[in-house]
Homo-oligomer: A and B are copies of this chain.
Amino acid sequence: MSSTRVTNEEDITRTASSRTASSRRHSENLPYVHKVGVPPKQSLLKEITYTLKETFFHDDPLRPFKDQSSSRKLVLGIQSIFPILDWGRHYSLSKFKGDLIAGLTIASLCIPQDIGYAKLANLDPQFGLYSSFVPPLIYAFMGSSRDIAIGPVAVVSLLLGTMLQDEIDPKNKLELGFLIDFLSHAAIVGFMAGASITISLQQLKGLLGIKKFTKKTDIVSVMRSVWTNVHHGWNWQTILIGLTFLAFLLLAKYIGKKNRKLFWVPAIAPLISVIISTFFVYITHANKKGVQIVNHIEQGINPSSLNKIYFTGDYLAKGFRIGVVAGMIALTEAVAIGRTFAAMKDYHLDGNKEMVALGTMNVIGSMTSCYVATGSFSRSAVNYMAGCNTAVANIVMSCVVLLTLLVITPLFKYTPNAILASIIISAVLGLFDIDAMILIWKIDKFDFVACMGAFFGVVFSSVEMGLLIAVAISFAKILLQVTRPRTAVLGKVPRTSVYRNIQQYPEATKVPGVLIIRVDSAIYFSNSNYIRERILRWLTDEEDKLQENNLPRIQYLVVEMSPVTDIDTSGIHSLEDLYKSLQKREIQLILANPGQVVLDKLHASDFANVIGDDKIFLTVADAITTLAPKMEP
């Protein structure tokens, strides 16, 4: 491992096109000073192609196509759209065993949830089941996640339920992938927690048997609606059934959490609740005593809904807007879930492919009476724990839902609404992730503000408002990041040649006569003036301190540019202004370790010649070593 030590080998190949001059050795007792690298310039077209590629296709989707025959490319192309053709060839009976068990488990969980979520979205119960039949089938052929369980989810159902009364066409997945990146993790945690509260509050209608309930979702309206109904609106039989099964479901959840092997207990508890309570209502005729029941649920598979899709009319704009919001949330959720499990099993999840698969399944879903389906976190977790191996689990679940639709839907007639409310409450409580909130508080206070903003926005105003607050705060953070980057004064860490922030390393010592400042960001128009003014303020502060203590004045200002990844014309102008200001004060400007892009631009703008090539160094240490002997005593 000799290459890891600092050796004196002379076999260094010097590039001929050396535009810089700092590559020289002063004497034997000074360390070797390496020149700053200036690579050959890239052509403009190449540069633009590279930038576009990194922006939209950074996961290099064409990678497997390299050096292949054209027939092979066709096969690979079809495989990249339908990954099942790839993994299907290695599919085995042993894998199917896992998938079968997992598929049956998530089916038993999804059927009651589907009916409940459909009610949450103000739809007839069968639409929830429809959406658990077609979309998972399509996803199994096109998706790249092995663990995700597809179907309706609580938050999107709430969104649809509160944001519209009319049908919409969810053709909204055509957004560019990088838009998802604008919802921060913290904002999502807050939004989900808020949604779980809002959804639970909505379930008070079913749980308490209230008939006249507010259509608003904010906590104030809902609580008022609950209290005004307390005397003649509540139905004690309903409450009794609801609370009993809610307790049962929560107990099942607790058992599943305590003993990971019993994960199937909470998974089948909802179905058991539905069966028992339906049977109970049927024999006691509780529905005659005010216990509300599902009453009617359509039998048979998805009818076509092609004739119900309109691209005209007054609601188009509203539909489009709601579609974009619901699509964003659904996509964000699915990709986040997919990534989580992909990281656990270490396989690659292709963001763009996922988007295509989720989009296609929802477009086809919209033609077959489905509403928005996406990856459900709770069901995906059950799927994973039940030992699923591939997307075949989704096919199994889909088949079970098909059988349900064909055969047993009439049996749901006597299912009390209170049970569905209990199932939804116990499901969405998992969205309220108090641990994640505590962690966010510990890690980043600004993130916590975003989290709470989204949370209170959802709870006290509306889902849309919460989302708006989350995006706004996330954006504010980005703006802060690009307009007010950090700068730091560096000192030499004892017994090394390393220069570090003196606030982080209090033992680091300043070099007399030199002020070393590191700029921690690309220098763009958005921050160039701030950076220049901040550097001058560091300088003024330092000079004041030196004068007070009668110490020698500053002769060199070294700007450590390692973190400066790029600079634009505004940035160059700022550096020029800085240089002029320093000249008036008889201080020399030194640049340490400018990156490739920055160096190119310093030369293109002639600024490198203005300050002199010998003022640009590979490292701060090099700069100090070279400058120290030249300094006035």
A215: B residues at CB distance < 8 A: none
Q: Contacting A478 at CB < 8 Å: which of B478, B565, B572?
A: B478
Interface residue? A545 (CB, 8 A): no
A31: B residues at CB distance < 8 A: 6, 496
Report the copy number of this chain in the oligomer.
2
Contact (A443, B568) CB under 8 Å given A1-B512, A481-B522, A596-B501 = yes
Interface residue? A205 (CB, 8 A): no
Interface residue? A237 (CB, 8 A): no
Q: Are A605 and B184 in contact (CB under 8 A)?
A: no
Residues 398 to 449 of chain A near chain B (Cβ within 8 Å) = 436, 439-440, 442-447
Q: Contacting A506 at CB < 8 Å: which of B4, B15, B525, B537?
A: B15
Q: Are A4 and B492 in contact (CB under 8 A)?
A: yes
How far is it, in angstroms, between the C-alpha of A419 and the C-alpha of B509 when the chains are bound? 66
A500: B residues at CB distance < 8 A: 37, 593, 618
Residues 271 to 318 of chain A near chain B (Cβ within 8 Å) = none
Interface residue? A231 (CB, 8 A): no
How far is it, in angstroms, between the C-alpha of A202 and the C-alpha of B343 when the chains are bound? 62
Q: Are B529 and A339 in contact (CB under 8 A)?
A: yes
Q: Contacting A525 at CB < 8 Å: which of B1, B186, B521?
A: B186
Q: Are B605 and A185 in contact (CB under 8 A)?
A: no
Residues 480 to 528 of chain A near chain B (Cβ within 8 Å) = 480-486, 492-498, 500-501, 503-507, 509, 511-512, 520-522, 524-527
Contact (A527, B563) CB under 8 Å given A186-B570, A537-B59, A568-B443 = no
Q: Are A618 and B493 in contact (CB under 8 A)?
A: yes
Residues 169 to 206 of chain A near chain B (Cβ within 8 Å) = 178, 181-187
Q: Contacting A4 at CB < 8 Å: which of B6, B340, B493, B625?
A: B625
Residues 1 to 54 of chain A near chain B (Cβ within 8 Å) = 1, 3-9, 11-15, 31-32, 34, 37-39, 44, 47-48, 51, 54
Interface residue? A232 (CB, 8 A): no
A572: B residues at CB distance < 8 A: 443
Contact (A483, B181) CB under 8 Å given A186-B525, A498-B619, A581-B343 = yes
How far is it, in angstroms, between the C-alpha of A573 and the C-alpha of B444 when the chains are bound? 13
CB distance from A570 to the nearest CB of B (A): 4
Contact (A58, B533) CB under 8 Å given A34-B498, A182-B526 = yes
Q: Contacting A346 at CB < 8 Å: which of B478, B498, B581?
A: B581
How far is it, in angstroms, between the C-alpha of A159 and the C-alpha of B11 when the chains are bound? 64
**Residue ID in chain B nearest A474 by CB atoms:** B525
A536: B residues at CB distance < 8 A: 348
Contact (A1, B596) CB under 8 Å given A445-B48, A568-B444 = no
Number of interface residues of A (CB under 8 A): 124
A492: B residues at CB distance < 8 A: 3-4
Interface residue? A213 (CB, 8 A): no
Interface residue? A628 (CB, 8 A): yes
Q: Are B486 and A478 in contact (CB under 8 A)?
A: no
Q: Are A577 and B447 in contact (CB under 8 A)?
A: no
How far is it, in angstroms, between the C-alpha of A5 and the C-alpha of B626 when the chains are bound? 11
Interface residue? A609 (CB, 8 A): no
Report A302-345 CB contacts with B as 1/0, cut-off 8 Å: 00000000000000000000000000000000000001100111
How far is it, in angstroms, between the C-alpha of A624 and the C-alpha of B6 when the chains are bound? 11
Q: Are B478 and A482 in contact (CB under 8 A)?
A: yes
Q: Contacting A512 at CB < 8 Å: which of B3, B12, B39, B577?
A: B3
A258: B residues at CB distance < 8 A: none
Report A528-554 CB contacts with B as 1/0, cut-off 8 Å: 011001101100000000000000000
Interface residue? A73 (CB, 8 A): no
A474: B residues at CB distance < 8 A: 525-526
How far is it, in angstroms, between the C-alpha of A570 and the C-alpha of B182 when the chains are bound? 11
A260: B residues at CB distance < 8 A: none
A570: B residues at CB distance < 8 A: 184-186
Interface residue? A353 (CB, 8 A): no
Q: Are A343 and B580 in contact (CB under 8 A)?
A: yes
CB distance from A335 to the nearest CB of B (A): 8
Contact (A530, B58) CB under 8 Å given A184-B568, A443-B605, A568-B186 = yes
Q: Are A484 and B55 in contact (CB under 8 A)?
A: yes
How far is it, in angstroms, between the C-alpha of A505 and the C-alpha of B596 when the chains are bound? 9
Q: Are A498 and B618 in contact (CB under 8 A)?
A: yes
A79: B residues at CB distance < 8 A: none
Residues 547 to 599 of chain A near chain B (Cβ within 8 Å) = 562-563, 565-566, 568-570, 572-573, 576-577, 580-581, 584-585, 593, 595-597, 599
Q: Are A520 and B618 in contact (CB under 8 A)?
A: no
Q: Are A628 and B569 in contact (CB under 8 A)?
A: no
Interface residue? A60 (CB, 8 A): yes
Q: Are A9 and B494 in contact (CB under 8 A)?
A: yes
A477: B residues at CB distance < 8 A: 524, 568
How far is it, in angstroms, between the C-alpha of A422 and the C-alpha of B581 when the chains are bound? 38
CB distance from A312 to the nearest CB of B (A): 29
Interface residue? A62 (CB, 8 A): no
A628: B residues at CB distance < 8 A: 1, 4
A593: B residues at CB distance < 8 A: 500
Q: Are B482 and A482 in contact (CB under 8 A)?
A: yes
Q: Are B601 and A184 in contact (CB under 8 A)?
A: no
CB distance from A548 to the nearest CB of B (A): 12
Q: Are A524 and B481 in contact (CB under 8 A)?
A: yes
Report the 7 A-B pairs with minimum CB-CB distance, sorted nearest first: A184-B525, A346-B584, A563-B563, A185-B570, A504-B596, A37-B505, A520-B565
Pick 9 A–B contacts, CB within 8 A, sort by A.
A8-B495, A11-B494, A184-B524, A184-B569, A346-B581, A436-B569, A444-B568, A478-B482, A493-B618
Since A12-B494, A500-B618 are in contact, a sample of 4 more A-B pairs with Cβ atoms closer than 8 Å, ordered by chain A residue number, is: A55-B480, A184-B568, A343-B581, A520-B563
